[in-house]
C-alpha cells in the first residue's frame, strides 16, 4: 500500500509537538500500563474486530466498562466472553450500531444511560470499488466513517459532557492527506468516483470532526483528537482486489498476506487510540492529530519523505474554518 505513504516535510516547529516515551511499535496495553480505568465507561465503534477489538481489550483490561458498538452484536460475543474471564477487567457488552443509518446512531444514543468518559470513533470502511449510496443519498464511506460518527458523537454529547473530562478519539488515516473535503460535491455526484479519494475525504472529515468538537465542547471539559494508526493488515482491506494487494507488496503469489517491514500488528495499531482515550500523558491535548503515539507535524501538500515513516497531518484537515463548515454541513445533512 504505497499510495499514501509519502510523508511530508514539517511545516512547523516540531519541538512544540506533544511526544510520549512510546514509539511506533508500542502496544495498546503498554501505553496504558499502570492506568486504572475502573469506574470509567467507554464506547468503541467497530469494536468487534481489528484495531477496535484491541482497543476494547486494552481499555477493559485496565478496568473500564466498555460497550462494543457493532452492526452485529453477536460478532462481539467471543470478545465479550474472553474479557469476562480476565480478572479485574471491566464489564464488556455489545450494542447494535449501523453507522450508515443515522436512525441507528440516534437509537444507540437514546439507549445510553449516564455519563460517558470515552468515545472511540473507530469503525470504518475503505475503498469501496464502486460508488455506493445510502438510502439518504450519501456516499457510503463518508456516511459510515464520518456522518455516522458525527451523528453518534453529537447525540452522545450530553453523556460526554456529564462525565466532566470526557475524551473523543477519532480514528482517521494517513489517506486524509490526499483528499481535502470537497464541499461542492462530497458524494461524488458530479466528479468521477474514486475509491481512494472517497476514503481520503472521509478521513479528512474525521480529523475535522475532532477539530470541530474540540472547539465546540471545550467548555464541557471534553477533549477531542484524531489519529492515524499506521499500516495494519485487517479486514479493512477486504474491498481491495488481489492484483492491487500484490502491487502494494502485501500479497505473495501463493495468496499469503505479507506485511511490509514497517507494518504494525493490530495490538500496535491500536496503541495511539488507547493513548488518546486513556493515558494521562496526553491529558488536556485537544484538537490535534497523532500518529505513532505522538502529535504529528503539519506537512506541506506534496511534500515527500522516506517510505514507512510517520507522515504528518495536512493543513486542510486541521483548518478551523473547514471544521466549522463541515459541522454545519453534517448538521444540515442529518436534519434533511
Ligand X SMILES: NC(=O)c1ccc[n+]([C@@H]2O[C@H](COP(=O)([O-])OP(=O)(O)OC[C@H]3O[C@@H](n4cnc5c(N)ncnc54)[C@H](OP(=O)(O)O)[C@@H]3O)[C@@H](O)[C@H]2O)c1
Task: Choose the catalytic residue: 193, 199, 289, 329.
Answer: 199
Q: Which is nearer to ligand X, 206 or 218 (CB)?
A: 206
Among the listed residues 44, 97, 251, 299, the single contact to ligand X using CB under 6 A: 97
The per-type count for the chain, helices as H runs and strands as E runs, is 13, 10
Query: What is the residue whose three cell numbers read 458530479?
Result: 190
Q: What is the 3-state secondary structure (H, E, C) of 191-252?
A: CCCCHHHHHHHHHHHHHHHHHHHHHHHHHHCCEEEEEECCCCCCHHHHHCCHHHHHHHCCEC
Order the strands of the 65-70 sheet from edge to edge: 92-96, 65-70, 41-45, 118-121, 167-171, 223-228, 289-291, 294-295
Is residue 181 part of the contact set for ligand X (CB under 6 A)? no
Q: Return the bridge partners of 10, or none.
A: 299
Among residue numbers 112 through 171, which ones bind ligand X (CB under 6 A)? 122-126, 144, 171
User: Can 199 be counted among the known catalytic residues?
Assistant: yes
Stretch that binds ligand X, among 70-78, 112-120, 177-185, 212-220 (CB under 6 A): 70-78
Among the listed residues 71, 95, 215, 316, the single contact to ligand X using CB under 6 A: 71
User: What SS3 state is found at 160?
Assistant: helix
Residue, CB closest to ligand X:
50
Q: Which is nearer to ligand X, 29 or 221 (CB)?
A: 29
Is residue 209 part of the contact set for ligand X (CB under 6 A)? no
User: What SS3 state is found at 66?
Assistant: strand
Among the listed residues 32, 127, 236, 313, the single contact to ligand X using CB under 6 A: 236
Q: Which is nearer to ligand X, 22 or 108 (CB)?
A: 108
Task: Give the β-pairing of 223-228 and 167-171.
Answer: parallel
Report, in Å, the least distance between residue 268 CB and ligand X: 11
Report, in Å, the least distance between residue 97 CB and ligand X: 5
Is residue 67 part of the contact set for ligand X (CB under 6 A)? no
- Residue 126 and residue 176 in contact, taking contact as beta carbons nearer than 8 Å: no
- Catalytic residues, by residue number, are 199
Amino acid at each position: 500500500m504505497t499510495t499514501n505513504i509519502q510523508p511530508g516535510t514539517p511545516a512547523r516547529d516540531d519541538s512544540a509537538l506533544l511526544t510520549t516515551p512510546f514509539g511506533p511499535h508500542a502496544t495498546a496495553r503498554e501505553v496504558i500500563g499502570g492506568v486504572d480505568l475502573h469506574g470509567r465507561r467507554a464506547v468503541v465503534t467497530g469494536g468487534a474486530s481489528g484495531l477496535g477489538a484491541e482497543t476494547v481489550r486494552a481499555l477493559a483490561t485496565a478496568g473500564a466498562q466498555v460497550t462494543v458498538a457493532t452492526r452485529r452484536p453477536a460478532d462481539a460475543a467471543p470478545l465479550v466472553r474472553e474479557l469476562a474471564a480476565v480478572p479485574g477487567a471491566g464489564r464488556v457488552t455489545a450494542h447494535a450500531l449501523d453507522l450508515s443509518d443515522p436512525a441507528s446512531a440516534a437509537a444507540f444514543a437514546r439507549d445510553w444511560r449516564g455519563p460517558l468518559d470515552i468515545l472511540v470513533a473507530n469503525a470504518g470502511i475503505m475503498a469501496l470499488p464502486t460508488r455506493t449510496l445510502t438510502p439518504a443519498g450519501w456516499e457510503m464511506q463518508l456516511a459510515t466513517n464520518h456522518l455516522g460518527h458525527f451523528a453518534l458523537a453529537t447525540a452522545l454529547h450530553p453523556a460526554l459532557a456529564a462525565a466532566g473530562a470526557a475524551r473523543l478519539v477519532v480514528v482517521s488515516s494517513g489517506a486524509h492527506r490526499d483528499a481535502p473535503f470537497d464541499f461542492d460535491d462530497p458524494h461524488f455526484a458530479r466528479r468521477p468516483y474514486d475509491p481512494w479519494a472517497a476514503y481520503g475525504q472521509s478521513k479528512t472529515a474525521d480529523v475535522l470532526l475532532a477539530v470541530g468538537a474540540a472547539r465546540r465542547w471545550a467548555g464541557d471539559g471534553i477533549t477531542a483528537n484524531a489519529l492515524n494508526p499506521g499500516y495494519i493488515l485487517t479486514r479493512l482491506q477486504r474491498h481491495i482486489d488481489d492484483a492491487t494487494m500484490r502491487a502494494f507488496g502485501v500479497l505473495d503469489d501463493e495468496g499469503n498476506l505479507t506485511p511490509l517491514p514497517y507494518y504494525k500488528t493490530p495490538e500496535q495499531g491500536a496503541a495511539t487510540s488507547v493513548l488518546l482515550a486513556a493515558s494521562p500523558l496526553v491529558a488536556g491535548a485537544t484538537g490535534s492529530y497523532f500518529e505513532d503515539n505522538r502529535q504529528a507535524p503539519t506537512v506541506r501538500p506534496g511534500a515527500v519523505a522516506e517510505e514507512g515513516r510517520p507522515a504528518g497531518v495536512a493543513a486542510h484537515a486541521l483548518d478551523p474554518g473547514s471544521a466549522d463548515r463541515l459541522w454545519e454541513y453534517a448538521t444540515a445533512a442529518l436534519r434533511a
